Amino acid sequence: MQCPCGSGHTYEECCGPYIEGKKKPETAEALMRSRYTAFATQAVDYILDTHDPSNRGDLDRNSTAEWSKRAEWLGFELLNAEGGGGGDDEGKIEFVARYRFKGDELAHHETATFRKHEGVWYFVDGEMATHETFVRTTAKVGRNEPCPCGSGKKYKKCCG
């Protein structure tokens, strides 16, 4: 079986050993990928165990399990990684996790913070990506005004 994290490796070569407790992720990216895979495979204990111990009490196991179970996980995309290597103690991973929930395809775009504690990587928290507000740089063209393309037609009959 291909690993749900999108690495191109099999589950057994990639995230499986982490989720099964056979080894620990060496990087923040490996932890992030394995956490996505844990959501996709409903490995809720792994999701909870890899959460930073200092704020693990804020998690609701039942809602995490329900979301993991009810969502159809469609793919993981790594957008950016800062730090989080073997020699680092902190890292940030920007990613998009795609899933289907109640028939709607959704994208969870987040920048996650990771911290290494006693040689083990943990997820600390995440910040949802924000979208910039679109600002129009030209005047709005009314439906009945001449089309700005120069055709001589009304905007609504041409490019509108």
pLDDT-above-70 percentage for the chain: 95
**For residues 56-83, average pLDDT:** 92
Output the pLDDT for position 139: 74
Region 70-97 average pLDDT = 95
The confidence score (pLDDT) of residue 131 equals: 61
- Look at strands 72-83 and 120-128 and give their pairing: unpaired
Q: What is the mean pLDDT of residues 76-96?
A: 95
At 75, is the pLDDT very low, low, confident or very high (cuts 50, 70, 90)?
A: very high
**16-129 has which fold?**
Nuclear Transport Factor 2; Chain: A, (3.10.450)
Over range 94-113, report the average pLDDT.
94
What per-residue confidence (pLDDT) applies to 135?
65
For the segment 46-70, the average pLDDT, to the nearest whole number, is 91
Mean pLDDT, rounded, of the chain: 90
- Average pLDDT rounded to a whole number, residues 36-55: 95
Q: pLDDT digits over 104-144, tens only?
A: 999 999 999 999 999 999 999 998 877 655 566 677 778 78
Three-state helix/strand/coil letters over the chain: CECCCCCCCECCCCCHHHHCCCCCCCCHHHHHHHHHHHHHCCCHHHHHHCECHHHHHHCCHHHHHHHHHHCEEEEEEEEEEEECCCCCCEEEEEEEEEEEECCEEEEEEEEEEEEEECCEEEEEEEEECCCCCCCCCCCCCCCCCECCCCCCCEHHHCCC
Check residue 6 and give its pLDDT.
94
> What does the pLDDT look like over 145-157, one tens digit per residue?
887 777 888 877 8
Mean pLDDT for 66-76 is 94
